[in-house]
């Protein structure tokens, strides 16, 4: 099965998540931990033991209070779903969340730590948070999710924009967590594919430039089209090429890469697989590894269980 697609030669250039409902604290107050410590961010960390600093890194434990605080302060909400007593979770806390660079980055987030079976109030009933469709890609497992309450006016405001379930016995390491925390504002699928590019061992540079909303829109449209017809490829590239070029700054020309996952892979696995496929082709990789002034990535899943990925770049002529 061909699982790659790329247009990178000069002559070739002519060719979800749903809204997380506003969760309000039932009594209008923040939870006890929040009320007790108003500004832990000011605690100096120089020369102190990392475990001790992590213990002081303030975590909320109530979903409604954390959501309200993130919304009020226009911040992203970092949710750590844990399974008490689980060895992978314990290692994640002691090794990754206790890393000094990770802790410093986490200070710009509202932080929430809850068990994987936590329940919330919804339409008068108590329902499991991980059972909600917005968290489908968490797969019911421990791991990390991020909700964007910072990007007011954007389509993904108030939505789940990252889901990183633990996929095996090894937790995400500090570098991977930092990559999660430093992803640009975008949708869940866009950010996941960008994460897969940034964490590839070869450190490709295509996401070092500016994430362009228009190129993201074009990548989304083409990924959606491939998913709908269940066929990977540069369909209608001649027309799309000229349309995209009209929006690019002078001196840049559009190029595109496409790939598909294996059937049945989850979102994170599929994103990593698509980047792996690009790495197998020198033509694809020359576009993915190069730094571009502007770029856009997205991926969509077809009814056949296959994810279709698209990257579009403004490449220097």
The tens digit of pLDDT for each residue in 13-37 reads 332 333 443 333 332 333 333 333 3
The H-or-E segment that residue 162 falls in is: strand 160-165
pLDDT of 5 reads 54
- CA dist 242 and 316 (Å) reads 16
pLDDT at 290 over 50: yes
Q: Which residue has the higher pLDDT, 2 or 117?
A: 117
* 122 contacts: CB under 8 Å, gap ≥ 6: 21, 132
Answer yes or no: are the C-beta atoms of 7 and 234 closer than 8 Å: yes
Average pLDDT, the chain: 87
- All structural domains of the chain, each given as residue ranges with its CATH number in brackets, are 4-16+203-316 (3.40.33.10), 32-184 (3.40.30.10)
Read off the pTM. 0.86
- The band of 165, judged by pLDDT with boundaries at 50, 70 and 90, is very high
The tens digit of pLDDT for each residue in 113-163 reads 999 999 999 888 999 999 999 999 999 999 999 999 999 999 999 999 999
- CA triple 154-159-162, angle to 5 deg: 110
pLDDT of 34 reads 38
């Amino acid at each position: 099965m061909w699982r790659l697609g790329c247009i990178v030669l000069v002559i070739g250039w002519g060719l979800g998540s749903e809204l997380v409902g506003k969760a309000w604290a039932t009594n209008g107050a923040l939870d006890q931990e929040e009320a007790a410590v108003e500004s832990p961010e000011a605690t100096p960390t120089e020369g102190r033991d990392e475990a001790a600093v992590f213990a002081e890194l303030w975590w909320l434990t109530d979903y409604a209070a954390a959501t309200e605080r993130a919304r009020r302060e226009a911040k992203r909400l970092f949710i750590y779903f844990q399974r008490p007593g689980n060895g992978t979770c314990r290692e994640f806390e002691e090794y990754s969340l206790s890393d000094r660079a990770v802790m410093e980055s986490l200070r710009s987030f509202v932080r929430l730590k809850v068990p994987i079976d936590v329940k919330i109030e919804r339409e008068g009933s108590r329902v499991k948070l991980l059972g909600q469709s917005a968290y489908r890609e968490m797969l019911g497992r421990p791991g990390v999710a991020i909700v964007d309450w910072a990007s007011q006016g954007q389509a993904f405001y108030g939505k789940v924009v990252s889901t990183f379930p633990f996929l095996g016995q090894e937790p995400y390491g500090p570098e991977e967590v930092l990559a999660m925390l430093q992803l640009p504002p975008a949708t869940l699928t866009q950010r996941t594919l960008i994460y897969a590019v940034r964490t590839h061992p070869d450190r490709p540079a295509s996401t070092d430039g500016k994430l362009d909303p228009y190129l993201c829109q074009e990548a989304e449209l083409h990924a959606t089209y491939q998913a709908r017809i269940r066929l990977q490829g540069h369909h209608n590239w001649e027309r799309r090429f000229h349309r995209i070029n009209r929006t690019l700054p002078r001196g840049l020309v559009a190029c595109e890469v496409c790939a598909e996952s294996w059937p049945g892979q989850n979102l994170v696995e599929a994103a990593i697989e698509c980047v792996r496929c690009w790495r197998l082709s020198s033509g694809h990789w020359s576009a993915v590894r190069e730094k571009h002034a502007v770029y856009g990535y997205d991926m969509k899943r077809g009814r056949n269980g296959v994810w279709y990925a698209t990257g579009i770049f403004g490449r220097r002529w």
